[in-house]
Chains A and B, each alone.
Chain A
Amino acid sequence: MLRFIRQRALASLISLIGLIVMVFFLSRMTGDPAALFLPVEASAEMKDQFRELHGLNDPILVQFARYVGDVATGDLGQSLRKARPALDVVLEAFTWTLWLAIITMTLVTGAAIVVGSLGAFRSGGFFDRFSSMISLVGASVPDFWLAIVAIVIFSINFAILPTSGTGSVLHWILPIAVLFVRPFGIIVQVVRGAMVGALSSAYVKTARAKGVKSGPIIFIHALRNAMLPVITVVGDQAASLLNGAVVVETIFGFPGVGKLMIDSILQRDFNVVLAAILVTAIAIFLMNVLIDLAYALLDPRIRH
């Protein structure tokens, strides 16, 4: 088991190094950093000075070595607009996004497993058709539209929830509700599909021949087997939330990493953008390690 974790972590580490290389070289390939960082009207002299100051005249490999050293020591430069370390700015925003993602995905996964499993158990029945329809609608509805409609209904017409910002538990309800819909729709369908397969499997037949009750058959025998494809999709959906739900965060004025990235790009705060990419990437790599672990916990055949 420990060897398995080590192997997976190592594999993720290799991709992470690849990512750092890519972030560095891509940022150098998108043009002259001096032109990117400095205002458009900056003089040639100012640009020269900037290059000298930031070592941009050194050979590219020297610059890369320095960048790797900086990343390793956690120094991702200063935010140009906020006069604080870029990493601090990003981590602050990322904490908001992380909580948003964790709460949303926990609710989504729990609800999708119950709804999808029950639909599969009586596949073709009323509940199955009803939940299939709801999930299809959920998976297809655009989130920006849903966000605006939700604000109109709950914040303006009924005036029971705040339109945007943070401060109380109530501020979380609309963003979570809006972010809930699409992954829920997708995961219900994955759960249902996997459960239909698992429930018609031979080992479920054995369980029925043993006289096992319906509840344990669904939630113990079939569900654990059906969870493998579900976990993959949950990870996928969680990754897109961790990347920052840009549109939803912006509409609700939620201070997450998605909103930060958009703001930083508009403000040409380049160090913050790079730091945000790195932080979310590391978070997604860590999550993939967790998903591999979950696989191994669920399926002994992967463990051995």
Chain B
Amino acid sequence: MAEHLLEVRNLSVEFHTAAGVVHAVKSISYHLDKGEKLAILGESGSGKSVSSSAIMNLIDMPPGRISGGEILLDGRDLLTMPAEERREVNGRRVAMIFQDPLSHLNPVYSVGWQIAEAMTTHGLAGSKAREEGLRLLRRVGIPEPERAMRKYPHEFSGGQRQRVMIAMALALRPDLLIADEPTTALDVTVQAEVLKLLKELQRETGMAVLIITHDLGVVAEIADRVVVMEKGTLVEAGTVREIYKNPQHPYTRKLIAAAPGKGVMHEPGARAEPLLSVRDVRKTYGSFEALKGISFDLMPGETMAVVGESGSGKSTLARALLRLDEPDSGTALWKGRDLFALSPSELYKLRRDLQMVFQDPTQSLNPRMTVFQLISEAWVIHPDILPKARWRERVAELLAQVGLSAEHMSRYPHQFSGGQRQRIAIARALALEPQLIICDEAVSALDVSVQAQVIELLDKLRREMGIAFIFIAHDLPVVRDFADHVMVMQQGEIVELGTIREVFETPRQAYTRALLAASLSPDPDAKAGCPEPPAADAEILIPKRSH
């Protein structure tokens, strides 16, 4: 049998917690050859990150324990290797980049120092390492690399930080790069650029790439083969095309079906008297113009999607409409009355009509309150809505409406999954029977299949209760099946505003087209925005390592 670069055989990992033993990875096997690009696809809790942490020896033991199996690198088992030899593997043979580059870079050391350390720790001289670091920064496309060497992680943008991480990982020309959700925290256009860079570097160096992701689009973009994980087991493996065109396992089928952007687009009806009419809203922070004159109308029961990348002003807009942040100028007529001119007591009455669902339900739900307390709190604040005797009954109704049950009432938020928590947050918003719910990235933190369920729920609420939505997202496909109108924002301005069909089928602005192009398609035959990198004759800035 030919030897693989990496072979994981019957790997099992468990965690010993107060609640008992959690089997995070249950006897999985896969392999990776030289220069191959393998994706591990799975949702949160599938064990995909744990299995890669085991390769890098990054599992904290205790509470973790590798209860069985082998991880062979060039035929040698990493799990039984002497500690010093094992340490030498990291960075030299196998390197890793992570999801959130800001927290994964040490905040108190300069970027140049951190890149150089990757080399000096394996015996390279300091001056040589810095020279090499400079070249790497130039190669990954950091502007002004000499100055960048002396800068600290917080002085870079998210995309640049990930480029720095990549430079650091590639410093010693590893044979295998493990990328754990490398683009998940990035804007779509930045994601496309980083993936393009990864692909280029893979071609130049011929390294193998193991990419861990929840995103079918990323898989289609970068991988040759894919293994699908669910609840710690490996459910399916094959080439990307096989898996996408002909998924065998029900879970894989579900994942592929849940990918957004394939349903029927809404056709909004005629527009009459607007529920909310926003005119020329402006907001500046110091010298930074966050909103440069935003105007739009929202009809009752309609959904307006607000799409833009970070810094586009979409969250500022939401906060201004709810007067969590006072806008500098402009009007927002709510049924004929200007929201921005309301006195505090009038605003208090109006709050019940306008509710918000936030991105991260872990943070927006008080961990020390039960679900009953969380939902009924709205009636404590607005006591005239519902007599106390009916609270339990109504909470049960609301829970049923969002797909939970009455017995969940006495539990605490940590006892629920991410998707369930967001349902609780939605139930809480519904408690006051609002006419408009503003969802700020309400599904961005959720797994694809859960995302689809939550969007379905919101759509149902709109149909049955006539609630209008302002739905903020950073990604276009997510809003395609749900919104009536889309507003694309960039740097505090509306660059495009139209019905969902207009924006998706005939985008007028270059920025909208760039956003649409950067959205990754899960279909491997429909490779999105990043063209294939030039082949072998391109300039090679990183020379091959000589063995």
Q: CA of A288 to CA of B169 in the docked complex: distance in angstroms?
A: 40
Given A203-B104, A298-B108, also A210-B118 (CB < 8 A): yes
The answer to whether the Cβ of A291 comes within 8 Å of any Cβ in the partner chain is no
> Contacting A203 at CB < 8 Å: which of B60, B91, B107?
B107
Minimum distance in angstroms from A220 CB to a CB of chain B: 8
The answer to whether the Cβ of A304 comes within 8 Å of any Cβ in the partner chain is yes
Q: CA of A56 to CA of B117 in the docked complex: distance in angstroms?
A: 68
In the complex, which residue of chain A has the Cβ closest to the Cβ of B83?
A: A214
Size of chain B's interface in residues, with CB distance under 8 A? Answer: 33
- Write out, one digit per residue, whether chain A residues 49-72 have a CB within 8 A of any chain B CB (1) or not (0): 000000000000000000000000
- Write out, one digit per residue, whether chain A residues 185-221 have a CB within 8 A of any chain B CB (1) or not (0): 0000000000000001111011111111100100001
Q: CA of A210 to CA of B106 in the docked complex: distance in angstroms?
A: 13
> Contacting A211 at CB < 8 Å: which of B91, B105, B106, B152?
B91
* Interface contact A225-B122, CB-CB below 8 Å: no
> Contacting B121 at CB < 8 Å: which of A200, A212, A224, A300?
A212
Q: CA of A42 to CA of B213 in the docked complex: distance in angstroms?
A: 89
Chain A residues whose C-beta falls within 8 Å of the C-beta of B90 in the assembled complex: 208-211
The answer to whether the Cβ of A301 comes within 8 Å of any Cβ in the partner chain is yes
In the complex, which residue of chain B has the Cβ closest to the Cβ of A198?
A: B106
Minimum distance in angstroms from A218 CB to a CB of chain B: 13
Q: CA of A290 to CA of B356 in the docked complex: distance in angstroms?
A: 45
The answer to whether the Cβ of B58 comes within 8 Å of any Cβ in the partner chain is yes
The answer to whether the Cβ of B168 comes within 8 Å of any Cβ in the partner chain is yes
- A-B pairs with CB below 8 Å: how many? 78
* Interface contact B155-A208, CB-CB below 8 Å: no
Which of B94-102, B269-277, B505-513 lines the interface with chain A? B94-102
The answer to whether the Cβ of B382 comes within 8 Å of any Cβ in the partner chain is no
* Interface contact B107-A211, CB-CB below 8 Å: no
* Interface contact B58-A205, CB-CB below 8 Å: yes
* Interface contact A200-B106, CB-CB below 8 Å: no
Q: CA of A254 to CA of B163 in the docked complex: distance in angstroms?
A: 60
A209-244 residues with Cβ-Cβ distance < 8 A to B are 209-213, 216, 221, 224-225
* Interface contact A209-B108, CB-CB below 8 Å: no
The answer to whether the Cβ of B458 comes within 8 Å of any Cβ in the partner chain is no
- Write out, one digit per residue, whether chain B residues 112-130 have a CB within 8 A of any chain A CB (1) or not (0): 0000011001100000000
> Contacting A208 at CB < 8 Å: which of B58, B100, B110?
B58
A102-151 residues with Cβ-Cβ distance < 8 A to B are 124
The answer to whether the Cβ of B328 comes within 8 Å of any Cβ in the partner chain is no
The answer to whether the Cβ of A299 comes within 8 Å of any Cβ in the partner chain is yes
> Contacting B155 at CB < 8 Å: which of A200, A210, A304?
A304
Given A212-B121, A213-B121, A304-B155, also A205-B104 (CB < 8 A): yes
* Interface contact A203-B106, CB-CB below 8 Å: yes
> Contacting A202 at CB < 8 Å: which of B88, B104, B155?
B104
The answer to whether the Cβ of B56 comes within 8 Å of any Cβ in the partner chain is yes
* Interface contact B60-A209, CB-CB below 8 Å: no
Size of chain A's interface in residues, with CB distance under 8 A? Answer: 23
Chain A residues whose C-beta falls within 8 Å of the C-beta of B56 in the assembled complex: 208-209
* Interface contact A225-B107, CB-CB below 8 Å: yes
Q: CA of A212 to CA of B104 in the docked complex: distance in angstroms?
A: 14
In the complex, which residue of chain B has the Cβ closest to the Cβ of A298?
A: B108
Minimum distance in angstroms from A43 CB to a CB of chain B: 66
In the complex, which residue of chain A has the Cβ closest to the Cβ of B105?
A: A203
The answer to whether the Cβ of B76 comes within 8 Å of any Cβ in the partner chain is no
* Interface contact B108-A225, CB-CB below 8 Å: yes
* Interface contact A225-B121, CB-CB below 8 Å: no
Greatest chain A CB density within 10 A among B92, B95, B105, B121 is at B121
* Interface contact B106-A206, CB-CB below 8 Å: yes
Minimum distance in angstroms from A238 CB to a CB of chain B: 23
Greatest chain B CB density within 10 A among A124, A205, A209, A304 is at A209
Chain B residues whose C-beta falls within 8 Å of the C-beta of A213 in the assembled complex: 87, 121
Q: CA of A201 to CA of B106 in the docked complex: distance in angstroms?
A: 9
* Interface contact A209-B103, CB-CB below 8 Å: no
The answer to whether the Cβ of B57 comes within 8 Å of any Cβ in the partner chain is yes
Q: CA of A145 to CA of B108 in the docked complex: distance in angstroms?
A: 42
B173-218 residues with Cβ-Cβ distance < 8 A to A are none
Given A200-B60, A202-B98, A202-B100, also A210-B168 (CB < 8 A): yes
Given A200-B60, A216-B121, A301-B154, also A209-B95 (CB < 8 A): yes
- Write out, one digit per residue, whether chain B residues 42-73 have a CB within 8 A of any chain A CB (1) or not (0): 00000000000000111010100000000000
The answer to whether the Cβ of B89 comes within 8 Å of any Cβ in the partner chain is yes
* Interface contact B92-A209, CB-CB below 8 Å: no
In the complex, which residue of chain B has the Cβ closest to the Cβ of A124?
A: B62
In the complex, which residue of chain B has the Cβ closest to the Cβ of A302?
A: B108
* Interface contact B106-A225, CB-CB below 8 Å: yes
Q: CA of A203 to CA of B168 in the docked complex: distance in angstroms?
A: 13
* Interface contact B57-A208, CB-CB below 8 Å: yes
Minimum distance in angstroms from A214 CB to a CB of chain B: 9
Greatest chain B CB density within 10 A among A211, A212, A216 is at A211
In the complex, which residue of chain A has the Cβ closest to the Cβ of B99?
A: A202
Chain B residues whose C-beta falls within 8 Å of the C-beta of A205 in the assembled complex: 58, 98, 104
Minimum distance in angstroms from A255 CB to a CB of chain B: 42
Minimum distance in angstroms from B242 CB to a CB of chain A: 31
Greatest chain A CB density within 10 A among B56, B104, B168 is at B104
**27 interchain pairs (CB within 8 A)?**
A124-B62, A200-B60, A202-B98, A202-B100, A203-B107, A205-B98, A206-B104, A206-B168, A207-B106, A207-B117, A208-B57, A209-B91, A210-B90, A210-B95, A210-B117, A210-B118, A211-B88, A211-B90, A211-B118, A211-B121, A212-B91, A212-B117, A212-B121, A221-B106, A224-B109, A300-B154, A301-B154
Where the two chains meet, the residues of A that have a C-beta atom closer than 8 Å to any C-beta of B are 124, 200-203, 205-213, 216, 221, 224-225, 298-301, 304
Q: A205-B58, A206-B106, A208-B57 are in contact. List 7 more A-B contacts (CB 8 A).
A: A203-B103, A208-B90, A209-B58, A209-B169, A212-B121, A300-B152, A301-B107
